[in-house]
A and B are shown apart, each in its own frame.
Chain A
Amino acid sequence: MIYPLDLLLLLFLVVCALMAVKLRDLLDSIIVLAGYSLIMALTWVEMNAPDVALTEAAVGAGVTTFLFIAALSKTVRREKR
């Protein structure tokens, strides 16, 4: 455990989560969510849970991004104001 690194990662997590909610372009939101999963996986490795980190990287950054994009292609990309 390296506390400054933990704090930095958690700060990035909060920023990514807020951006994913606030962005108007839904494709941007999906990409930011993939980045969120990547940082989350780094946090799991930092907390000595490599098993969970592997799951997070494979499912969070990989499969859900595909599924979100496939779902987005059925609807409109931009959120209405």
Chain B
Amino acid sequence: MTDPGGVSIVVRTVSRIMIPFIQLFGIYTIAHGETSAGGGFQGGVILGTSIILLSIVFGLKEADRRMPRELLTAFMCVGLLIYSGIGVLDLLSGGRYLEYSSLPLPLPPHEISALSILGVEIGIGITVMAVIILLFFCLAGERDA
């Protein structure tokens, strides 16, 4: 029982159920990066893998409709801006680049540091996700010359 694309209904149903959980695990990996194993890079790769699975099972057109290339390019730049923006904020508040404790927030220093690391991890995760998906789209999407 296959559709014209050749992917069976079992594969389609299982990936439709699994993709949200894969993305949830990726976000968990990013959010818990500073206290346990994981971090921005690993979580970003897991998030990107879920979209790659979507594009394998449901086709490149569907994946491109849900995650257009312009959006991915924007994600790439936004993640980089978050990362470097936190570093520049530290510079502006009188510390060194990425010296988190110099931020003038009404919190104890280790909590400022934890919050800033979370922000940096989120930036890394967004950039890595966008780059992984774009790599796959560019490699699989181009027609052979």
Contact = CB atoms under 8 A, between A and B. Distances in A.
B42 A54 contact: yes
Contacts of B144: 74
Interface residues of B, number: 18
A67 B139 contact: yes
Contacts of A50: 37
A66 B41 contact: no
Interface stretch (A9-17, A19-27, A31-39, A55-63): A55-63
B31 interface: no
Given A59-B45, A63-B48, A63-B49, A71 B139 contact: yes
Given A50-B37, A53-B37, A54-B38, A62 B139 contact: no
A58 B139 contact: no
B38 to A, nearest CB: 6
A70 B37 CA distance: 30
Given A54-B42, A67-B135, A71-B139, A62 B49 contact: yes
Contacts, number: 40
Interface of A is mostly: helix
Nearest to B48: A63
Interface of B: 29, 37-39, 41-42, 45-46, 48-49, 52, 56, 132, 135-136, 139-140, 144
Given A62-B46, A62-B49, A66-B52, 19 more contacts: A50-B37, A54-B29, A54-B37, A55-B41, A58-B42, A58-B45, A58-B46, A58-B49, A62-B45, A63-B45, A63-B48, A63-B49, A63-B136, A66-B136, A67-B135, A70-B136, A70-B139, A70-B140, A74-B144
Interface of A: 50-51, 53-55, 58-59, 62-63, 66-67, 70-71, 73-74
